[in-house]
Each structure stands twice: as C-alpha cells, then as structure tokens.
Structure 1
C-alpha cells in the first residue's frame, strides 16, 4: 500500500541566499512517521542568481523531487500551488531617511488638513456655532476649537489603530489592509510573470 503524503505550501517565505531550499522551509507536511523526517529535509530547489531576490517554487517541482527518492508515494497538495521564496536581505532603515520621511508625511498631512479646513470654512463654522449656542460673537471660539483639535488627533489614532508602536486592538488598520492587498497583488504578478517567462510550467517544472 503506497504511503499518502499531504503537503501545504506556504504562500511566501524568506530564505537565505545561496542555500538550498528544503521541503520544511516552504511547506507543512503530514506523512507516515517513517517518512516524515526524511521528507522534511529533502532538497527541493536551488535559487539561481538570475532569480534573486525572488524565486517561485511550483508544486510540480516538489512532486518531481520527492518522486526521485520515493517513487511510490501518493502526494496530495492542499492550498496554494506555488511558494514565493524571498532571498532579499532585510532592509535597513537609516535614521536620516526615517526622519526625512516622517517630516515629509507630517508636513504633508498638516497642510492637507489646513487646506481642507480652509476649503470648508471651518473657522467660520466654529464662530457661527459659538454664536448660536452662546448668543455671543467671538473670533476665537476656543470652547469648540480645542475639543475639535483633540478629537481630530484622537480620531486619526483610532483610524490607524496605532499609538506609536502600540496597537490599540487586534483589528488590522486600513493601512495594514492596503499593504496586505498590495503584497498579494505583487505576489500574484510574480507568479504570472514567471509563467509568462516560461520558468514555471504545469507540464515541465524545469522549463
């Protein structure tokens, strides 16, 4: 009776350059106990220089490599059919660049808020509200302006779900969702591009 091996490829993994990718690096495996250890340490792929910093390992490559050593096993894949192997080094964040980007975003966000308030005549609105509520006229209705300014900052903190490095709750922020969607689109592009270039084929894993 042939052994059944269940494999779930990970969507994306980070792997050191110039090291052979083993099955345990890119997948979760359920197999008979006498095969489990050897399967996990099977060499699956060698990242070539022309593929750096990203390579795509297809399920067909995994099947071929495993069948070379265990021709009788029945391989069942669950989940994605490819794994993206990222061999790029973690990007460093130099302090001058970080400060420059922070200052740029801070000034840009401030100008955006001020221009919006000018477009909708927010100072005049506060003055009119103060006059309606109190019956008096003033050019600086601080009783509205101060709470409004505090609420504006608090609203941005709640919207982005972060206070410096502290997360307010477990829900992802809109920025995190956008970054996740961007990464998903980039990964899909890499997979499609690899197929278009002929580096991945459903018929020939080495094409």
Structure 2
C-alpha cells in the first residue's frame, strides 16, 4: 500500500543565499512517522546568487525531488502551490538620526496636508460661524472650538491607525496594515505570474 504525503507550502519565507532549502523550511508535512524525519530533511533547492533576490519553488519541483527517494508515494498538496523565497538580507537597525529625519519629513508633510485641507474647506470660517450661532458673539479666534477640534483630530488619527508608538489598542489590524498586506499579496502574485511567464517555452511568436 502506497504511503500518502500531505504538504502545505508556506506562502513566503526568508532564506540565505548559497544554502540548501529543506522541505521543513518551506512546508508543513503530514506523512507516516517512519519516513517523516527523512522527508523533512530532504533538500529541495539550493538558492544561488544568479537567481536573484526572489526565488519561486512550486509544487512540481517538490514532487520531482521527493519522487526520487520515494517513488511509490502519493503526494497531495493543500493550499498554496508555490513558495516565495526572499533572499534579501535582514535590514540592520535604523540609525536614530535617519529616524528623526524621516519623522520630521512625515510630520511636515502631514501638517501641510491638514492645513491645506482646512484652508480649502474654510474650516476657520466654519468655527467662527458656529461660535456666533452658539454664543451670539462674533470672534476671530473661536478657541473653544479650535482647541477641542485639534485634540480630537490627533486622537482620531491614533484610534484610526490603532497604534500609539508600539502599543496596540485591540487585535484588529489598522487600515494601513490591511493596505500593506494587500500590496504584498498583489506583489507576490505578480512575482509568481512573472516567473511562470519566464518558464513558459517560446511558442514561435504565435499568440
């Protein structure tokens, strides 16, 4: 009776250059206990510098490697059919001066954006009009509205992004995290499609 092997490939991993990629590093595996240790230690691919920073390992490559040692096994894949291997070195700790420089640029950019928006919608005139409606008096500096509004604007942004420095208020992802996740998913899909396109044999110019 042939043994059954169930494999779930990881979507993306990080791996150093010029090193063998073993099955345990790219997948979760269910198999008979007698063959599981050797199975997990199987070399699937050696990452080389000339392959670039992104390497794709697909299910067909895994099947080809495993059938060399276990030709009579039934291999079934669950989930993704490719693993993206990122060979980019881990970034070093960002220097504090660089952090301050980036923070300063973002602070100035965000402040200018908010001020330009308020100028476009005549926010000062709205506050002046509201102050006149509520109090019956007219003033050019309705601080009773402007100060709470400014505090609320900052607090609203903190709650919207669900972070205060490293503190998270709840387990829900922030809109920024969702957008970054979607961008990474789209980028991975493009990389996989591009890799498949490069592997496709030349059709002689036919469409």
| Same topology, TM > 0.5 | yes
Shift of 1:52: 2.6
Partner of 2:185: 184
The answer to whether the 8 Å contact 1:8/1:28 transfers is yes
TM-score by structure 2 length? 0.93
What is aligned with 1:45? 45
1:128 is aligned to 129
What's the CA shift string for 1:12-66, capped at 9, x where partnerless?
0111221100000000000000011111110001112122311000101100110
Q: What residue in structure 1 maps to residue 99 of structure 2?
A: 98
**Structure 1: stretches of 5+ with no match in the other structure:** 202-207
| TM-aligned CA deviation for residue 189 of structure 1 | 1.1
Deviations 1:169-191 (CA, angstroms, capped at 9, x unpaired): 11111111111111111111111
Q: Residue 35 of structure 2 aligns to a residue in which SS?
A: helix
Q: Determine the structure 2 residue equivalent to 1:61.
A: 61
Residue aligning to 1:169: 170
In structure 2, how many angstroms separate the alpha carbons of the residues matched to 1:110 and 1:60? Answer: 52
Partner of 2:21: 21
Give aligned pairs, total: 200
- Quick one: distance in 2 between partners of 1:61 and 1:117? 57
In structure 2, C-alpha distance between the alignment counterparts of 1:51 and 1:165, rounded to whole Å: 37
What is the TM-score when the length of structure 1 is the normalising length?
Answer: 0.93
Q: Is the CA contact 1:56–1:85 (under 8 Å) kept in the aligned structure 2?
A: yes
Q: Counterparts of 1:41 and 1:95 in 2: how far apart (Å)?
A: 42
Which whole-Å CA distance do the structure 2 matches of 1:85 and 1:4 have between them?
Answer: 26
Structure 2: segments with no counterpart, 5+ residues: 202-207
What is the rounded CA distance, in whole Å, between the counterparts of 1:35 and 1:164 in structure 2? 48
- 2:18 and 2:84 map into 1 onto residues whose CA distance is 16
Match of 2:204 in 1: none
